[in-house]
Amino acid sequence: MYRSIFTNSFGILFSRILGFLRDLLTASVLGANIYSDIFFIAFKLPNLFRRIFAEGAFTQTFIPAFIRSRHKAVFSIHIFFVFLLIIALMTLAVNIFPQIATRLIALGFDAATIETAAPYVVINFYYLPLIFAITFLSTFLQYKHHFATTAFATGLLNIALIIALLLSRGKSDESIVTYLSYGVVFGGLLQLLVHLMAIYKTGLMPLLAGGVKYYKERSARIKKEAKQFSRQFFPAIWGNSTAQFSAFLDTWLASFLNAGVISYLYYANRVFQLPLALFAIATSTALFPRIARYLKHNDEEKALSFMKKAFWFLTFLLTASAIGGFVLSEEITWLLFERGAFSTDDTRQTALILQMYMIGLLPFGINKLLLLWIYAQNRQLQAAKIATLSLSANIVFSLLLISPMGGMGLALASTISGFIAFYATVNAFGRERFLAIISSKNSLIWIIGTIIFTAILIFLKGFLHVYL
């Protein structure tokens, strides 16, 4: 288990380091202004679907269905064709009605800004069909316990964007956003290429080729399986997407605030997402195929044993990350972003929002782990109900807090919804199972360690301010 987790984590770390270099360059070249807001808005919708597909609904529904299927090759190709057609139609709609699509993402933008942003939304949306194909291929690699390609491949997107920023340096803001938008598409093509190479090297190409070859004559045999997948998938979209829709809601509401707030939320969320991806998502991705297999064979004891190890692994790492991110929020933001067009005031505003996000890091991370159990048991509808509760809470608290707290209020509302989702997920997972996991000497070690680590960081922060 740990080997898969560390392989996945190292790949994600590599990608995120490149991502921070990309953000550093973006902050330096564009700063936090209307054009940086336009690019983040343009990339928001395809990135939202990327996270839904790559980190949630598709993978966690497809793998259990693939394991159960009697006609794996034909079933896989059928699912691929259906979803690719849907995504192609969505991409066509965005091309025909770009202004409408842009306004749906940023309702607070005025007409002139919508007109400026619309062409970039169209370019960035071409990333969506590419990332679906990448996610589809990555599920087969995960089934074979091959995680390295997918983990490292995201770095190719960041490399493409870094190259775009370097090539556009010194040009107008409009040109920089154009270069970045085409960089997104080029990065997607690179990711698809390396996944195809990995599929070939792992010997999975005959499976896909066989699915295409025998699709017509055997497609009738998988109709029942396909219908069952569809019934599970659409609740799974909702159940897996609370955090993504919350971030989307933050951006949408922030478009009504001062210029730059969208960028503050983006930069703060990027820092927040690093430990979440590095530890929680990496662990969940590595663990899910095993949990699905154990529960399929009614081996709950072994599945629970893996869950317990993963729980404490995540709890210690996420707690340390949350405390560090909260206490040192300004120092982290300064180190990563304050240069060029990114000012001291931008650092202060971003750091305050980062603190609000960091409060919710532990419940968000543990929630991802516990949801594995629910999805492995094909209880997608229950997960969807939890997500509905969480998203409803996020909407209510966002509307309550945006006026008095601005961007900080939006981040805090997202955190509150994370706690609500965690509470509901524990109930769905089973309180007795959860108590069995946390009832150990690790609980006392965690409490003592949290107090000591917090005290050390506060002392370190005070020392830095006095002597540096």
CA terminus-to-terminus distance, the chain: 43
Q: What distance in Å separates the CA atoms of residue 87 and residue 101, rounded to the nearest whole number?
A: 14
Determine the pLDDT at residue 243: 64
pLDDT one-digit tens code per residue, 237-287: 666 666 667 776 777 787 777 767 877 888 888 889 888 877 887 777 777
Q: What distance in Å separates the CA atoms of residue 74 and residue 17, rounded to the nearest whole number?
A: 39
- pLDDT-derived band of residue 5, with 50, 70 and 90 as boundaries? low
Q: Quick one: DSSP state of residue 147?
A: -
Report angle CA 82, 8, 20 to the nearest 5 degrees.
95
**Lowest mean pLDDT: which of 213-222, 242-251, 432-441, 449-458?**
242-251
Q: What distance in Å separates the CA atoms of residue 37 and residue 22, rounded to the nearest whole number?
A: 16
**Lowest mean pLDDT: which of 94-98, 213-217, 353-357, 457-461?**
213-217
Determine the pLDDT at residue 192: 93
The parent domain of residue 369 ranges over 2-467
Q: What distance in Å separates the CA atoms of residue 343 and residue 334, rounded to the nearest whole number?
A: 9
- Most confident option among 21-25, 184-188, 277-281, 383-387: 184-188
Q: Are 137 and 199 in contact (CB under 8 A)?
A: yes
Structure-block tokens of residue 65: 């269905």
pTM: 0.68
Determine the pLDDT at residue 62: 76
Q: What residues contact 443, with CB distance under 8 A and at least 6 apart?
A: none
Rounded to an integer, the average pLDDT of 195-210 is 86
Residue 426: CB atoms within 10 A of its CB come to 17
- Most confident option among 21-35, 59-73, 448-462: 448-462
Determine the pLDDT at residue 415: 92
Structure-block tokens of residue 354: 């980062």
- pLDDT-derived band of residue 225, with 50, 70 and 90 as boundaries? confident
Q: Quick one: DSSP state of residue 33?
A: S
Alpha-helical regions (H) of 215-360 = 215-218, 223-240, 242-254, 261-275, 282-296, 300-327, 329-337, 344-358
- pLDDT-derived band of residue 299, with 50, 70 and 90 as boundaries? confident
Rounded to an integer, the average pLDDT of 385-400 is 89
Determine the pLDDT at residue 400: 93
Mean pLDDT of the chain: 81
What angle do the packed helices 380-405 and 407-429 form, to 10 degrees?
160
Q: What distance in Å separates the CA atoms of residue 261 and residue 251, rounded to the nearest whole number?
A: 9
pLDDT greater than 60 at residue 402: yes
Rounded to an integer, the average pLDDT of 316-324 is 91
Q: What distance in Å separates the CA atoms of residue 262 and residue 113, rounded to the nearest whole number?
A: 14
pLDDT one-digit tens code per residue, 177-190: 889 999 999 999 99
Domain count, the chain: 1
pLDDT greater than 80 at residue 195: yes
